[in-house]
Amino acid sequence: MATGFLHPGAMGASLAAACRGKRLWCGAGRSAATRARAIAAGMDDVDSLDALVAQSDVIVSVCPPASAVEVAEAVAAIGFTGIYVDANAIAPATARTIAQRFSRFVDGGIVGPPVQAAGTTRLYLSGDRAAEVAALWTGSALETRLVPGDAGAASAVKVCYAAWTKGSAALLTAIRALAVAEGVDAAVLAEWDTSIPGLSERSDLAATGAAPKAWRFAGEMDEIAAAFAAHDLPDGFGRAAADVYSRLGAFKDAPGTPLADLLAALSAGPSQVTPG
């Protein structure tokens, strides 16, 4: 069985490396860094999307959330008849919209970092062919978990998980920016050290760890806000977090940026920093 991977960034390439069978990707127009990841993951370049669609039994999409629908439409337009797996961080309703474009569809949601060691990364899957897709990673470091339900179920798990992890990180980052703006950062950190041990360090990591990936997180938080709104739940949490990450978008792929610089960019306002 051949599995095609669309736009393998760090996460997609790690999924490909752990996948059984032949692994394909389309290198046309992709960066040198992406090509290096694909080679390291043992993927074969088929040069064009048409070739990828023609040669793949399964296609796995791992791309920025804002591009998930566009990527799926491009594959569907070519006439793909295999199993399409959308493993992007999207709202359940977005997953259901994409599912309508394919006769065989599996919804996916990834929790954890790029696959490196067993026990760190989980791929949630839902839909009639979920077990078949899960078998592609049997015996690998990637753990697969089946979620009862059809399209949207696995995405709902991911949305609920990320609403807390990325949402709370955005809140902590915004709080630190406010504390700095008011000149009370040291006092706030001292109180946290007294009453909530470990939160000071967590707030440091919330900003510095997320900044290089904030350009992706902004779109993910928009999807999370949409998921809340679809059930008449308050969606302001997600929209505010999306704003936080949008303001940090210029730090794309820039690890090691000083915390003070990140907080200053956050306080500068949405028009001052262009997302990557």
> Can you give the pLDDT of all 276 residues of the chain as single tens digits?
899 999 888 999 999 999 999 999 998 888 888 899 999 999 999 989 999 999 999 999 999 999 999 999 999 999 999 999 999 999 999 999 999 999 999 999 999 999 999 999 999 999 999 999 999 999 999 999 999 999 999 999 999 999 999 999 999 999 999 999 999 999 999 999 999 999 999 999 999 999 999 999 999 999 999 999 999 999 999 999 999 999 999 999 899 999 999 999 999 987 443 333
Report the distance separating Cα 155 and Cα 270, nearest Å. Answer: 28
Return all residues near 52 (Cβ < 8 A) that are at least 6 apart. Answer: 4, 6, 24, 25, 26, 46, 59
Residue 41 near residue 34, CB atoms below 8 Å: no
Quote the distance between the C-alpha of residue 80 and its chain's center: 24
Report the distance separating Cα 137 and Cα 185, nearest Å. Answer: 46
| Residue extent(s) of CATH 3.40.50.720 domains in the chain | 2-150
Question: Which amino acid belongs to residue 181?
Answer: A
Question: Which amino acid belongs to residue 8?
Answer: P
Q: What is the pLDDT of residue 271?
A: 43
CATH code 3.40.50.720 for 2-150: yes
Report the distance separating Cα 24 and Cα 50, nearest Å. Answer: 12
Q: What is the pLDDT of residue 89?
A: 97
Model pTM? 0.92
Q: What is the pLDDT of residue 172?
A: 97
Residue 26 near residue 52, CB atoms below 8 Å: yes
Q: What is the pLDDT of residue 253?
A: 86
Taking only the tens place, the pLDDT of each residue in 36-69 is: 999 999 999 998 999 999 999 999 999 999 999 9
Q: What is the pLDDT of residue 274?
A: 39
List the structure tokens of 183. 């000149």
| Residue extent(s) of CATH 1.10.1040.10 domains in the chain | 157-267
Q: What is the pLDDT of residue 272?
A: 42
List the structure tokens of 111. 């929790």
Q: What is the pLDDT of residue 32?
A: 87
The three state secondary structure string of 203-246 is HHHHHHHHHHHHHHHHHHHHHHHHHHHCCCCCCHHHHHHHHHHH
Q: Tell me 28's DSSP state.
A: T
Q: Provide the Cα torsion 104, 228, 170, 151; round to 10°.
A: -10
Superfamily name with CATH number, domain 157-267: N-(1-d-carboxylethyl)-l-norvaline Dehydrogenase; domain 2 (1.10.1040.10)
